[in-house]
């Protein structure tokens, strides 16, 4: 509703007092103060207005002015209980403020935060205390809590460009580029010529546009263009780790989508080093390993990702798929061992067997290690020939077990002599 109803008799102290009450009901304590001061000026012994003004000043952290008002009430009404209680709070607040500033001066930021907790409880409308606690949180490495203090501080001062700029910078450092842009715009609304805010605005706007464009390209499956855009992001902001990490993560994703598996593994591994608990990087690298048929490594990456997010359905499905592929890869492909196609006839199989058996016979090798390796290969070659030339034994192919051992092979040759 309009406040014009109260713009009547400018000499009547009650007019100002009632309008101040309306402002307070609307949550506009700063607007109520001038009206309360005018009411007191017109009627110095008006205790209700003085007590109301003192309470507002106390909540704003103006302890000296609040004390003067409480003392003026007590001078006229020595037994005023509320004035006594609030005066004690004002005196307590003054001591706490001093304690907080001393702790801050000696660099004890944890103690400063603890003391300011009590200060802000007594003076919730004091921007200075919130700004000081925000600074301490930044020094203690907790920017999120700093943001929680600076956000109300921007509303507690008429022109708080410094708080809007600091908020924007904090959001920017955390990767919240849209929030950063919104806050720096608030600063420029207060003064479009503010040099610091305008310089930061240009940087955030450019970076934010690149990031949004890169994600749009990914949604359109234009992966090579998205990679180029994320490379631009790293050039635009090389100093804030979040953006480099994000760019590496998304480039890794794009390379997997493009089936550039080897390059993807390199970029994903670099991204994983920078951000070890990022499940998206682990998933993408696992997929790159699958493309390279390195199933054990794919299983390891999916297992590691599952440790960070056990309820993730996508990770569970990926792990299950990688484990199945690994199991299948352990089965012997007898056609592959002999280097023949699956449509090869018996004559082609025997011909391939003879050639490879001659090449890998253990007697052709001198060292013990080479002989052992040759024995393994020879057994695989002999097993493949046994399976593929005997239809009744092809069932063993599914199990992937060698049909022979070297000892059994030698014994079988003896029996045929």
Kindly report the CATH class assigned to 334-416.
Answer: mainly alpha
pLDDT grade, residue 417 (50/70/90)? very low
pLDDT of residue 384: 86
Alpha-carbon distance of 233 to 212, in angstroms, equals 11
Where in the sequence of the chain do the CATH 1.10.287.110 domains occur?
Answer: 334-416
For tokens 């069932």, what's the residue?
395
pLDDT of residue 377: 87
pLDDT of residue 335: 82
Task: Report percent pLDDT > 70 for the chain.
Answer: 91
Structure confidence by residue, pLDDT tens digits, 43-57? 999 999 999 999 999
Where in the sequence of the chain do the CATH 1.25.40.10 domains occur?
Answer: 240-329
* Average pLDDT of the residues in 135-142: 97
Does the pLDDT at position 376 exceed 90? Answer: no
Kindly report the CATH class assigned to 240-329.
Answer: mainly alpha
pLDDT grade, residue 341 (50/70/90)? confident
Structure confidence by residue, pLDDT tens digits, 212-240? 999 999 999 999 999 999 999 999 999 99
In our burial notation (b when 16+ CB lie closer than 10 A, e otherwise), range 203-236 reads: ebeebeebbebbeebbeeeebeebbebbebbeee
Task: Report percent pLDDT > 90 for the chain.
Answer: 75
pLDDT of residue 409: 55
Q: List the single range of 1-5, 98-102, 177-181, 191-195 with lowest mean pLDDT.
A: 1-5
Q: Which segments of 2-42 does DSSP mark as H helices, in order?
A: 13-25, 29-42
Higher pLDDT, 404 or 231: 231
Alpha-carbon distance of 304 to 209, in angstroms, equals 34
Q: DSSP labels for 222-258? A: -HHHHHHHHHHHHHH-SS-HHHHHHHHHHHHHHHHHT
Structure confidence by residue, pLDDT tens digits, 235-251? 999 999 999 999 999 99
pLDDT of residue 344: 85
pLDDT grade, residue 412 (50/70/90)? low
Handedness of CA 128, 132, 137, 139 (dihedral sign): positive
Highest mean pLDDT among 38-42, 99-103, 153-157, 409-413: 99-103
Does the pLDDT at position 408 exceed 70? Answer: no
For tokens 């304590």, what's the residue?
29
Q: How far is CA 219 from CA 113, 225, 315, in A?
A: 44, 12, 21
Segment 172-175 long-range contacts (CB within 8 Å, at least 24 positions apart): 172/200, 172/204, 172/240, 173/143, 173/240, 173/242, 174/143, 174/144, 174/242, 175/240, 175/242, 175/243, 175/246
DSSP state of 275: S
Structure confidence by residue, pLDDT tens digits, 255-295? 999 999 999 999 999 999 999 999 999 999 999 999 998 99
Alpha-carbon distance of 139 to 150, in angstroms, equals 14
pLDDT of residue 2: 44
């Amino acid at each position: 509703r309009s406040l014009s109803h109260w713009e009547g008799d400018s000499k009547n102290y009650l007019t100002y007092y009632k309008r101040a009450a309306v402002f307070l009901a609307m949550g506009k304590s700063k607007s109520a103060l001038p009206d309360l001061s005018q009411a007191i000026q017109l009627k110095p012994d008006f205790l209700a207005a003085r007590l109301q003004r003192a309470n507002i000043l106390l909540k704003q952290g103006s302890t000296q002015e609040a004390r003067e008002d409480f003392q003026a009430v007590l001078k006229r009404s020595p037994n005023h209980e509320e004035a006594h209680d609030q005066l004690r709070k004002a005196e307590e607040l003054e001591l706490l403020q001093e304690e907080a500033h001393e702790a801050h001066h000696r660099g004890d930021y944890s103690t400063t935060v603890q003391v300011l907790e009590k200060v802000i409880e007594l003076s919730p409308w004091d921007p200075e205390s919130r700004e000081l606690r925000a600074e301490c949180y930044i020094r203690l490495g907790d920017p999120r809590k700093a943001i929680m203090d600076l956000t109300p501080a921007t509303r507690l001062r008429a022109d708080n460009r410094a708080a809007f700029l600091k908020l924007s910078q904090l959001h920017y450092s955390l990767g919240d580029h849209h929030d950063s842009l919104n806050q720096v715009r608030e600063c420029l609304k207060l003064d479009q010529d503010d040099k610091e805010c305008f310089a930061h605005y240009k940087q955030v706007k450019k970076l934010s546009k690149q990031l949004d464009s890169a994600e749009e390209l990914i949604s359109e499956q234009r992966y090579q263009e998205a990679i180029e855009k994320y490379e631009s992001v790293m050039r635009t902001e090389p100093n804030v780790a979040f953006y480099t990490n994000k760019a590496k993560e998304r480039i890794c994703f794009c390379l997997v989508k493009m089936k550039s598996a080897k390059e993807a593994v390199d970029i994903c591994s670099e991204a994983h080093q920078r951000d070890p608990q990022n499940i998206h990087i682990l998933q993408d690298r696992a997929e790159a390993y699958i493309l390279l048929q390195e199933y054990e490594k794919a299983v390891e990456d999916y297992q590691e990702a599952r440790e960070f997010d056990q309820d993730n359905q996508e990770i569970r499905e990926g792990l299950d798929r990688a484990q199945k592929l690994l199991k299948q890869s352990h089965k012997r492909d007898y056609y592959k061992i002999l280097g023949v196609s699956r449509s090869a006839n018996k004559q082609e199989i025997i011909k391939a067997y003879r050639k490879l058996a001659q090449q890998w016979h253990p007697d052709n090798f001198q060292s013990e290690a080479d002989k052992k390796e040759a024995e393994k290969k020879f057994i695989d070659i002999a097993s493949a020939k046994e399976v593929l030339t005997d239809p009744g034994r092809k069932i063993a192919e599914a199990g992937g077990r060698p049909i022979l051992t070297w000892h059994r092979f030698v014994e079988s040759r003896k029996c045929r002599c």
